[in-house]
Structure 1
Amino acid sequence: MDTMQVRASERIDAEQLHAFLKRHFSNLPEGKLEISQFSAGHSNLTYCLKIADFEVALRRPPLGPVAKKAHDMKREFTILSALHPFLAIVPKPYVYVDDDSIIGSDFFLMERKKGVVLDTHFPPGTDTTVELARQLSEKMVESLVALHAIPYQETPLIDMVKPDGFMERQVHSWIDRYDKAKTAELSEVAVLTAWLKDHIPTNAEATIIHYDYKFNNAMFSQDYSQMIGLFDWEMTTVGDPLADLGVAMSYWMHADDPKMLLYALGEPPITILPGFYTREEFIERYAEKSGRDVSAINYYITFAYFKLAVICQQIYYRFVNGQTKDDRFAQMDTMVAALIQQAAKSIK
């Protein structure tokens, strides 16, 4: 995963951090602490800490005011601790630090994995065949099915979650979040939210769900034969597995999707390239491998577009109100409008 120089507005105290690392890791090598930042992500901030051949990743909340219960570092650390023994793609967590004096917030440290993260392009020199695209599609299906197969009852998550009534709570909660972060009136919202409330599925099955499952949160081996990492577990919970599938499909764009949706935040994802499964193929393969009935998947995809619109709207609200100064967020309202339109068109 590529790192970059830390954004000026997101720098952290290297001296305090180095002192903490010395206290916590007995085998820390001598040398200067180098801090870089992982460029992906619009929410929690992730840094790479390096001293000689020692490397760890640091996760912290974004700067400025954040939504209540959002960006909960202790919760994400607990999730990684629970899931890593069952699934090797989950980064190994090392320590959670509830001390604002070190970098200005709580944070946790975890394993620094190395491999290829795919987003809008393949690395230069990659032979981007149809076969490779189908192989990667299949790996994405397999890993989602494997995640949903973890027995959450055998993990600490059983004491952190309330799977009963999951979709009912989700729908009303995300509609409420949208209302609180609204900065403009969009004509489709009233009909869309009414439909979502009136058609909530009654599926009672519950599994661990990642809830932000997409290519740029996954890491592959250099030859693309294996997924070796899955990141950004902040939204993970126990709930309807089809909600997770729906979210994955909201990110899984086709070349013939609306241009406004494809290009609202820059280049579209690699899934528009020849050979990648269509959404229909992905859903069919998931059904085959998991044995689940996916006949109601359209509702979950519609809700996923709306949920993603709300996330973008919350980020844009923070930008408009000066709570973040990251220029990447200046056009986020365009993405919100595109996602609301896509959700409205998905209603059947």
Structure 2
Amino acid sequence: MNHLLDTASAVRPGEELDRQKVDAFIHQHLPDLTGEPVIEQFAGGASNLTYLLRYPERDLILRRPPFGHRAKSAHDMLREANIMSALKPVYRYVPSVIATCSDPAIMDCDFYVMERLHGIIPRQNLPKELVLSVDDTRRLCLNVIDKMIELHQIDYQQAGLTSIAKGAGYVARQVAGWSERYRQAKTEDVGDFENVMQWLHDKMPAQDLATCLIHNDFRFDNVVLNPANPTEVIGVLDWEMATLGDPLMDLGNTLAYWVQADDDAVFQSVRRQPTHLAGMLTRQEVIAYYGEKTGYRVDNFDFYAIFGLFRLAVIVQQIYYRYFHGQTTNPSFADFGKFSNYLEKRCLRLIKASSL
């Protein structure tokens, strides 16, 4: 099953690490580790960058922020690592953090190193060698959703995570915060989203539905599957945006990436997880399943769905801002401005159809 494992490749130009400095840092924390690392990079990393440190007897993962302009308060590597360390004892799908670093002499940013979970990451498509039946695909889909539900039910106070958020008013802070981020990241070739932001401000619920631990980027390409049983989730990755907040906001953010089989060609072209396969739930089925399992009311989900798409547009635009201003040369970001414009139109269509 090794051929099914998620693989890394050569580091992208301009995103290289200083191998000697990284190796010296690793050996401070793992003195019995032998040899020097081969450094590779995973294909993902539109936001934070993820590297594979391949030692002769052990693989490690290094996470660091992107190069160039970074939005204020974003890409906080130490916060992410601290949340993972606190969460690991009560949510076994979190990788173990090995070391954190804030020394600018080693790297121009904070970073951390964690264990590598050897498994399958279901990206845009499943590995071609992995053929699941419709029933198995549905089982995989439900298992992934169940991991989000399990996360939402964790006692975050017992886990020592009460300090990672600002308390009540999460939804209002999210609407205001992401609106400001979009305005700061806007470039001259994209729409202004002002009508969308005004609608979200006017239609947001008066109070949060509940407060729980949320991932804020829960997607198929952030889970790791067991190679021996590909419908089983053995890991959940990318905890940068985890916080305490409204669970339906988390679900709305997840569904912003959920491209299903009957979506239009533009949305299909940016699909980055295999939610189009026969057996996968539709977005409406996910909402109904989540409501049934949690007991939360989901009968009018429009606000959360539209906010999720808007937040995705902000993330896309922040990345495109770096590309537009020459702060990154990754060619995969070249059309992000067009996708931002598409998401504005998609939000406006849903607003027009909403009964809110």
TM normalised by structure 2 equals 0.93
1:289 to 274, 293, 299: 293
Partner of 1:67: 71
CA distance in 1, matches of 2:272, 2:66: 25
Q: CA RMSD in A?
A: 1.6
Check whether the contact 1:119–1:215 (CA below 8 A) recurs between aligned residues. Answer: yes
The residue correspondences of 1:50-199 to structure 2 (distance < 5 A) are 50-184=54-188, 189-199=193-203
Partner of 2:30: 25
CA distance in 2, matches of 1:251, 1:328: 17
CA distance in 2, matches of 1:182, 1:317: 7
* Aligned AA (1:156): G
TM superposition shift of 1:152: 1.1
Which has the higher mean CA deviation after the structures are superposed, 89-98 or 291-300?
A: 291-300
Which has the higher mean CA deviation after the structures are superposed, 138-147 or 19-28?
A: 19-28
1:9 to 6, 14, 20: 14
TM superposition shift of 1:166: 0.3
TM superposition shift of 1:295: 2.1
Check whether the contact 1:206–1:241 (CA below 8 A) recurs between aligned residues. Answer: yes
1:221 to 210, 218, 226: 226
Check whether the contact 2:99–2:112 (CA below 8 A) recurs between aligned residues. Answer: yes
TM superposition shift of 1:204: 4.1
Larger helix share, 1 or 2: 1
Q: What SS class does the counterpart of residue 225 from structure 1 fall into?
A: strand
Partner of 1:257: 263
Which has the higher mean CA deviation after the structures are superposed, 320-329 or 138-147?
A: 320-329
* Aligned AA (2:16): R
Check whether the contact 2:208–2:246 (CA below 8 A) recurs between aligned residues. Answer: yes
Classify 1:253/1:46 alpha carbon distance in 2 versus 1 (closer, same or farther; 3 Å).
same
**Structure 1 runs not aligned, ≥5 long:** none
1:207 to 186, 200, 212: 212
In the alignment, does 2:254 pair up with 1:236? no
TM superposition shift of 1:57: 0.7
In the alignment, does 2:312 pair up with 1:312? no
* Aligned AA (2:201): K
CA distance in 2, matches of 1:70, 1:203: 23
Q: What SS class does the counterpart of residue 253 from structure 2 fall into?
A: helix
Partner of 2:326: 322
Check whether the contact 1:188–1:341 (CA below 8 A) recurs between aligned residues. Answer: no
Classify 1:187/1:309 alpha carbon distance in 2 versus 1 (closer, same or farther; 3 Å).
closer
* Aligned AA (2:316): C
Check whether the contact 1:164–1:204 (CA below 8 A) recurs between aligned residues. Answer: no
Question: How many residue pairs get matched?
Answer: 345
**Structure 2 runs not aligned, ≥5 long:** 1-5
Taking every aligned residue pair, what percent have the same amino acid on both sides? 37
Classify 1:36/1:187 alpha carbon distance in 2 versus 1 (closer, same or farther; 3 Å).
closer
Classify 1:186/1:96 alpha carbon distance in 2 versus 1 (closer, same or farther; 3 Å).
closer
TM superposition shift of 1:41: 2.4
Check whether the contact 1:261–1:339 (CA below 8 A) recurs between aligned residues. Answer: no
